Structure 1
Amino acid sequence: MNIVFESPDQPDVIALIAELDAYQDTLYPPESRHILDLASLKQPNVLFAVARDGAGEAIGCGAIVLYPEFGELKRMYVSPRGRGQGVAKRLLALLESRAIDSGCKLLKLETGPYQHEALALYASAGYERRGPFGDYTNDPLSVFMQKRIAA
């Protein structure tokens, strides 16, 4: 497996993101999904990483949007064919490392209460629950977390 920073504007990555969207469609109504579209993921303040299997197929992705005060973790996903191999942990570690290299000291995220594996991953990586941030509002279908990644 290889994880590198790439453009999200590639057919296999676009298909992976579509897979993520289809999965989230089964869990949450549109008003509770806070996604970034492809154009947003291509902005210069976005770090976008792709995990590829031995055959070079995209099996996971994740992004960090860098703001002046913090970074926001977005679009973390590992396809079913990539699960159980530590892909999500490695993606998260690489994203955190690059965020630190970019001067980020605090990461925040929004996920959903029905994504138990994601919640467990973030908790095991040191993320703690917090209230809404940025443009988010209280929503029973949102879980907000954060982690200080640098002093």
Structure 2
Amino acid sequence: MYSLTEISARSSELVPLIAALDAYQNALYPPASQHSVALHALAEDRLRCILVRDENGRAMGCGAVVFDDKQAGEIKRVYLDPDCRGQRLGEKVVAALETLARDADCTLLRLETGIHQPAAIQLYQRCGYGFCAPFFPYQADPLSVFMMKALS
């Protein structure tokens, strides 16, 4: 049994999850194709974060949505510990991020992921995201995939 909770981007529980995500992506992509963001460095009013905990309260996953000034947001830093993958938790994280975005009057969510992460691409497709062109601040990158979904 897992629970999803909204937390601050400054929570110490995010640190090992983000470190694991960075290590995973460092093995897949050169630095120029890594588009990570330091969540703790963003203004809290432009950001909402989700933490996944197991039945023992251990942090097992995370995700964030970063808002721009035009009722759009970007999904960032979605990660699940390998021990809890394959249980449809990714869909729950994305759904929770979409709820946070709707609550903030966001009408569009976008994301960037990498071509070497087919499970992530499939997750976002299952959640209704379609492919799109690069969006600000990104430029075309042969190792990147850009996706978006209009929120109702």
Q: Quick check: TM above 0.5?
A: yes
Q: Which amino acid aligns with 2:28?
A: L
SS of aligned partner of 2:28: coil
Instruction: Give the distance between the partners of 2:79 and 2:86, measured in 1 at CA.
Output: 13
Query: Partners in 2 of 1:97 and 1:10 — Cα distance?
Result: 21
Secondary structure of residue in 1 paired with 2:4: strand
Q: 2:63 maps to which residue?
A: 62
What do the CA deviations read for 1:37-81 (whole angstroms, capped 9, x no partner)? 143356321011100000111111000001122100000111101
User: For residue 52 of structure 1, what is the aligned residue in structure 2?
Assistant: 53
1:149 is the counterpart of 2:127: no
> 1:84: Cα distance to partner?
1.5
Q: Percent identity?
A: 43
AA matched with 1:19: A
* Aligned-partner Cα distance in 1 for 2:149–2:132: 10
Cα distance in 2, alignment partners of residues 21 and 53 from structure 1: 22
Instruction: Using the TM superposition, name which of 6-15 and 51-60 deviates more.
Output: 6-15
Query: TM-score under structure 2 normalisation?
Result: 0.94
- Which residues in structure 2 correspond to 1:1-151 (within 5 Å)? 1-41=2-42, 43-69=44-70, 70-150=72-152
List alignment gaps of at least 5 residues for structure 1: none
